[in-house]
């Protein structure tokens, strides 16, 4: 994140705008709408800008820019056609520790103007960090059509009742859950429909019936293999409601950032031979947090029920009567195969697929190797990076040809994805040379030969 989005209160604040052309006029319109005490410095200004200043009580200083014009200001905007003047304004403002925006020059900006969807007092700001204003405006137009104007009235309504609800429900979590019910229910619909008197009556009725304790709930969410776009709508929605998020190293940072900013985040491991929190403690933590009345998300890479130990976690929740939901995710086997251009099944190569764990225990992998010999079946090994030499050795030992195609996919579906392809007798040396990092996934079978022709994503 290159910029921190903030909402700046400019009511009666002394702001200076240098430049009075078409671009400067657009900036002045925004600043004046925000209530700024605006001074425009320019030898000439547009007729529209002159009218705006007269309407809102701004000042036109008919002169060239001087460094002393910045003294006593809170905010600086430069919109002159002269690059040298804009650079000087940036230097002067920076020396005075004043926030400065030089229009169309991101390198000279300590802040930038976002595209705004205005449903006052509700504001939605979209920014491309100065890279593509056209894209930001496109997204604004999309949101303009999807966010009704009445949302501003709903925000005003909530503001009027904020202290009343806080007094009635002093505890933070129950109060937030109450507001979520209001905003997603019939009270909000009454406000959006222009029936605020009825909405006030309904809200008071709900306050009178508020229970002192809210029962918490646990959501086991499959986060998929890494690409946040592969999250389901339900997973994204529930993640946004969580008070607490338990996550491990298989969950990518962009996915974690989809949670609420005020949600507590608890890292619970896990990497080989180093579990930050043992599984039994994770299970109990889910129970304890839910009993505190919190909405808890257990965020898992891939799918919770495919080598994710989700069954163990909900078993304890069920024993303690804690409500829970399980949200499936795209398992790493499917995601990695698709992004690597390796179909798990193909009429000419494989008519079935088998998923197995490649995790070492006491230096070996306890699998029935005789079941892995079919050349018309694709085999997917999870957690097999360290155990790869054992996997290859056992497969060859039990009869798989040494030239059987095999691929190791590193950090699948992310921008760091890499595919290392070889055969049972060459892949160990390839991995030793390339030194991939976990998480990785291994695919065995003739479908791997399709990778070169069907791969479409990442560095292969």
Binding residues: 22-23, 43-44, 225, 301-303, 306, 331-332, 383, 412
Report whether the peptide linkage leading into residue 439 is cis, meaning its omega lies within 30 degrees of zero.
Answer: yes
Inter-CA distances, 350 with 191, 306, 378, Å: 58, 21, 6
Closest Cα to residue 113, out of 123, 125, 131, 124? 125
DSSP letter, residue 184: T
Given CA atoms 103, 106, 108, 109 in this order, what sign does their dihedral have? Answer: positive
Closest Cα to residue 220, out of 276, 278, 301? 301
- Assess whether 118 carries a catalytic annotation: no
Tokens, residue 21: 């052309």
Output b/e per residue, 390-409; b: 16+ Cβ within 10 A: bbbebbeeeebeeebbbbbb
Number of residues that make up the chain: 460
The residues near 181 (Cβ < 8 Å, ≥ 6 apart) are 206
Closest Cα to residue 74, out of 31, 44, 45? 31
The annotation places the binding site for NAD(+) at 22-23, 43-44
Pure H helices in 209-269: 233-241, 253-256
The residues near 153 (Cβ < 8 Å, ≥ 6 apart) are 191, 192, 194, 196
The annotation places the binding site for S-adenosyl-L-methionine at 225, 301-303, 306, 331-332, 383, 412
- Assess whether 270 carries a catalytic annotation: yes
Orientation of helix 22-33 relative to helix 47-56, angle to 10°: 20
The catalytic position among 118, 270, 394, 425 is 270
Q: 10 Å Cβ neighbour count for 262?
A: 8
Tokens, residue 453: 């022709």
Tokens, residue 107: 């390198």
For the chain, count helices (H), then strands (E).
Answer: 16, 17
**How far apart, in whole angstroms, are the C-alpha atoms of residue 403 and residue 448?**
12
Catalytic residue positions? 248, 270
């Amino acid at each position: 994140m290159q910029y921190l989005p903030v909402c700046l209160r400019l009511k009666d604040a002394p702001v200076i705008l240098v430049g009075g052309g078409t671009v400067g006029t657009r900036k002045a319109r925004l600043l004046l709408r925000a209530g700024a005490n605006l001074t425009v410095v320019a030898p000439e200004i547009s007729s529209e800008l002159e009218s705006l200043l007269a309407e809102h009580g701004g000042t036109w200083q008919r002169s060239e820019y001087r460094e002393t014009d910045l003294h006593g200001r809170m905010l600086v905007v430069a919109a002159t056609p002269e690059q040298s003047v804009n650079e000087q304004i940036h230097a002067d403002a920076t020396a005075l520790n004043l926030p400065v925006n030089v229009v169309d020059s991101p390198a000279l900006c300590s802040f930038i103007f976002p595209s705004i969807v205005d449903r006052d007092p509700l504001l939605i700001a979209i920014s491309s960090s100065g890279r593509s204003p056209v894209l930001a405006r496109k997204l604004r137009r999309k949101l303009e059509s999807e966010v009704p104007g009445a949302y501003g009235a709903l925000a005003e309504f909530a503001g009027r009742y904020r202290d009343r609800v806080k007094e009635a429900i002093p505890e933070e979590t129950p109060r937030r859950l109450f507001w979520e019910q209001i905003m997603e229910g019939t009270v909000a619909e009454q406000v959006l429909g222009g029936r605020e008197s009825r909405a006030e009556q309904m809200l008071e009725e709900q306050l009178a019936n508020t229970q002192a304790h809210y029962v918490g709930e646990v959501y086991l969410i499959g986060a998929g293999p890494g690409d946040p776009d592969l999250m389901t709508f339900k997973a994204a929605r529930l993640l946004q409601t969580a008070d607490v998020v338990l996550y491990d190293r298989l969950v990518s940072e962009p996915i974690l950032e989809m949670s609420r900013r005020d949600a507590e985040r608890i890292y619970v491991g896990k990497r080989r031979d180093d579990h930050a929190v043992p599984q039994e403690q994770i299970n109990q933590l889910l129970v304890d947090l839910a009993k505190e009345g919190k909405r808890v998300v257990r965020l898992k890479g891939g799918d919770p029920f495919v080598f994710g130990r989700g069954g163990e976690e909900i078993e304890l929740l069920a024993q303690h009567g804690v409500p829970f939901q399980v949200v499936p995710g795209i398992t790493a086997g499917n995601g990695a195969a698709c992004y690597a251009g390796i179909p798990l099944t193909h009429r000419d190569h494989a008519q079935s697929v088998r998923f197995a764990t490649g995790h070492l225990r006491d230096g070996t992998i306890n699998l029935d190797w005789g079941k892995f010999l079919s050349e018309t079946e694709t085999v997917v090994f999870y957690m097999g990076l360290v155990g790869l030499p054992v996997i290859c050795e056992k497969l060859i030992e039990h009869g798989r040809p040494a030239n059987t195609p095999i691929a190791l996919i590193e950090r699948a579906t992310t921008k760091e994805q890499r595919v290392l392809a070889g055969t049972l007798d060459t892949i160990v040396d390839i991995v030793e040379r390339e030194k991939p990092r976990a998480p990785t996934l291994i695919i065995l079978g003739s479908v791997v030969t399709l990778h070169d022709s069907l791969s479409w994503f990442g560095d292969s």
